Structure 1
Amino acid sequence: MTAALAAPWGWPLPPGFVAPIVPADNPMSVAKVALGRRLFYDADLSIDGTMSCASCHEQKHAFADGNPTRPGVHGDPGRRNVPGLANVAWFASLTSADPRVTTLEAQAMIPISGLTPVEMGMHGSEQEIPRRLSRDACYRRQFRAAFPDRRGRIDMTSVAMALASFERSLVSFDTPADRGALSPQASAGKAVFDRTCASCHSGPHFSDGRFHAILPVNKADRGLAEATGRAEDEGRFRTPPLRNVAVTGPWFHDGSARTLRDAIARHPVMLDAADTGRVLAYLEALTDRGFIENPAFAYPDDPCGSK
């Protein structure tokens, strides 16, 4: 293991921000994040080798997708819009409508082997992934460096732990709004936003983490009610965080809002054209260019020192 990989993990946080809670059985490490990064971009995690995590979570979209929904490897239509991944380490709920998914380790398995819908298509064939990865000498070295406590074991537990570690490293706190560098239009938009939107889009991630109904209920996707079985939860979805919102469209859980202006208009607040323009300027100022261009989050073309 190189000295760089053996180094302890350091959270790149601005003053006043507290590091997220990390599961005791999966502590962060540089080696684990490096392994998770490579796995995130590896299409061998899908049944036919055509889809990786990054196929849907693109860095230029702050690890969202840019499409309303994304079909799976067998052409199964996607159900929901792909969410961005900025600061997911801090989120208490990790899907748009199932509060039972509370760890990134558990969430990582949903696209890999889930059935509603089928995405990467590995249900029933999960052991094919360790078999594929074990053939690669670089992967064998990376798993040994990342999981000395597990003796470098290559299995789905380690895969999920590494993916979760990389996703926790996706930290985004360097926007014009964070730096106090708002234009006059964006500054006026912040005042409108604080008055009309911040009751739900609150806190450092601009989400209260709760579930609300904004759009008319679609019986094909009952939202929170699918998890709880309660009629009052029909059509409720988690308040989406708004960091990098300007690059994560289309918007809403079904991707039905093709412009950010349309997304604002669908909320139960009355804004005239001028105030809408001001809010749009503020939302643009929540874009972290360093995050969506950070080479440490991009495809790793030399994971073991060679292209």
Structure 2
Amino acid sequence: MWPDHRKGWRSVRAAWRPLGRLWLALACACGVSPGRTANAASDLATHASPAGLTLEEARAIVALGPWPMAQRRDPGNRASGRPLAVELGRQLFRDPRMSPVGYIACVTCHQPDRAFTDRKARAHGMADLPRNTPALANLSLQHWYGWGGGADSLWMASIKPILDAREFDGNGALVVRLFAREPELAACYRRVFGVSPLVDAERTLVNVGKALAAYVETLVTARTPFDEFRDALTGGDASVVAAYPDDALRGLRLFVGRAGCIACHGGPNFSDGRFHSGMAPVDPIAAAVADSLHDSGRLRDARDLLASRFNLRGDYNDDRSGRNAVDTGHLVPGAEMAGRYRTPSLRNVAVTAPYFHDGRTDSLRDALRHPGAPLSEPLRIGEVDDLAAFLATLSDAYGARRPWNTAGLTRCR
């Protein structure tokens, strides 16, 4: 319960004295000065406090921030963080001429008015694919890309769909032809990479992947109601704490506590970036569909990654130290990888349906109710709604309609 402001100052102060100790301990854990913490506790004593939050819960909540995180350049991509490369990548993202049919582009599946997804259970380019289209957001925070980690860099992940016969069905020659037909785009490429795009088809393909990655790195979700609440906890802003919805607070406590969600969906991006066993469909028809997809998850993707000349151990890695390729060098595909998929971020999860690697449900509540959902114990009546209410507070103000610049080349002249 929140404190009763009709009580006298002394009784309120006594009622929340344990909270002062909570904030002091929390501050020591988070590097906040005791003086500032004492003030925060005093402010909360006269305004509001998260009822029943234990020190363990508070620490877990604080560890889910801060947001946004500092952006970092990709040392394996010399185009990373360069405005001209971002502009080139933005233009290429929506250009369908890298596909032989002339109507498949990155934006075909990653649509800005649908949170850079396509709202389909499984992606479709030139043909059907076995997995759901992942949202494009906060990808610079990842180490492995795709549901099964089939790429060890964002630029490799950008090359793969161009070459995949089920997606673009493109090749280096088609990419070169695009620049041959578009002198302004070719001039932008030369300004970014210092060479003509018409000379070496494979190098041009790789650089296109790097320009696309430079653009996709800029797709970052904004702050959310949860971030405001989390920062209010650390800063002692009682009014913001009090404004957080009651059902969302209950769901948050479940998330960091009994439900065990935080075990995989931890950190400011709400993902550990690791690979976990997928959930087998319980519906017989869905199970039959899953069997027909022949998707071995991380196992297949790890093998494909190591076999690719575009991985970080290859010649196209711009980090000459090779430090960014260490994990790739240690990767050893094994049977234990079968059926494992990367933990997705939960930021903007309420607007990025369908859910799971195969898009088996388009309802967030159904995903939470799924018999195979990775919860430490079954949810009780009403707890599904509370968890969904919390997850809704991880959506930023843009929601599904992401910022999108429809102009042509604007900064590459």
Return the TM-score normalized by structure 1. 0.84
Report the AA paired with residue 205 of structure 1.
N
CA distance in 1, matches of 2:66, 2:192: 27
The Cα offsets for residues 114-166 of structure 1, whole Å up to 9 and x where unpaired, read as 24xx11111xx32122212232233133223333xx23536212211110100
The Cα offsets for residues 9-67 of structure 1, whole Å up to 9 and x where unpaired, read as xxxx9778332341253332111111101111111121211111011011233212200
1:94 Cα shift?
Answer: 0.6
Matched, 1:274 2:324: no
Q: 1:303 to 1:222 in 2, by over 3 A?
A: same
Matches within 5 A, 1:1-307: 17-24=69-76, 25-73=78-126, 76-98=127-149, 101-115=151-165, 118-122=166-170, 125-147=171-193, 150-151=194-195, 153=197, 155-180=204-229, 182-195=244-257, 196=259, 197-216=261-280, 218-219=290-291, 220-226=294-300, 227=302, 229-266=333-370, 267-269=373-375, 270-290=378-398, 292-295=400-403, 298-304=404-410
Q: 1:215 to 1:31 in 2, by over 3 A?
A: same
Q: 1:163 to 1:17 in 2, by over 3 A?
A: same
Report how many aligned residue pairs link the two structures: 282
Of residues 236-245 and 21-30 in structure 1, the stretch that sits farther from structure 2 once superposed is 21-30
Answer with 1 or 2: which has the greater Rg: 2
CA distance in 2, matches of 1:278, 1:208: 23
Q: 1:152 to 1:300 in 2, by over 3 A?
A: farther
Say if 2:68 and 2:223, in contact at 8 Å, map to a contact too. no
SS class of match (2:160):
helix
CA distance in 2, matches of 1:105, 1:143: 16
Structure 1 or 2: more helix by fraction: 2
1:291 Cα shift?
Answer: 6.7
Q: 1:16 to 1:44 in 2, by over 3 A?
A: closer
CA distance in 1, matches of 2:338, 2:382: 34
Say if 2:155 and 2:209, in contact at 8 Å, map to a contact too. yes
Say if 1:172 and 1:291, in contact at 8 Å, map to a contact too. no
The gaps in structure 1 that reach 5 residues or longer are 1-12
CA distance in 2, matches of 1:93, 1:208: 11
CA distance in 2, matches of 1:153, 1:268: 48
SS class of match (1:290):
coil
SS class of match (1:289):
coil
1:304 Cα shift?
Answer: 4.2
CA distance in 2, matches of 1:158, 1:234: 32
Report the AA paired with residue 271 of structure 1.
L
Match of 1:10 in 2: none
Say if 2:271 and 2:346, in contact at 8 Å, map to a contact too. yes
Say if 2:176 and 2:197, in contact at 8 Å, map to a contact too. no
1:179 Cα shift?
Answer: 2.1
1:213 Cα shift?
Answer: 1.2
CA distance in 1, matches of 2:73, 2:108: 28
1:294 Cα shift?
Answer: 4.8
The gaps in structure 2 that reach 5 residues or longer are 1-64, 199-203, 230-239, 282-289, 304-332
CA distance in 1, matches of 2:351, 2:209: 27
Match of 1:9 in 2: none
CA distance in 1, matches of 2:386, 2:67: 28
Q: 1:293 to 1:70 in 2, by over 3 A?
A: closer
Percent identity reads 32
Say if 2:91 and 2:408, in contact at 8 Å, map to a contact too. no
CA distance in 1, matches of 2:381, 2:179: 54
Return the TM-score normalized by structure 2. 0.63
CA distance in 2, matches of 1:77, 1:52: 15
The root-mean-square deviation of aligned C-alpha atoms, in Å, is: 2.3
Report the AA paired with residue 287 of structure 1.
S
Say if 2:116 and 2:402, in contact at 8 Å, map to a contact too. no
The Cα offsets for residues 264-302 of structure 1, whole Å up to 9 and x where unpaired, read as 12214211231110110111111123375454xx25333
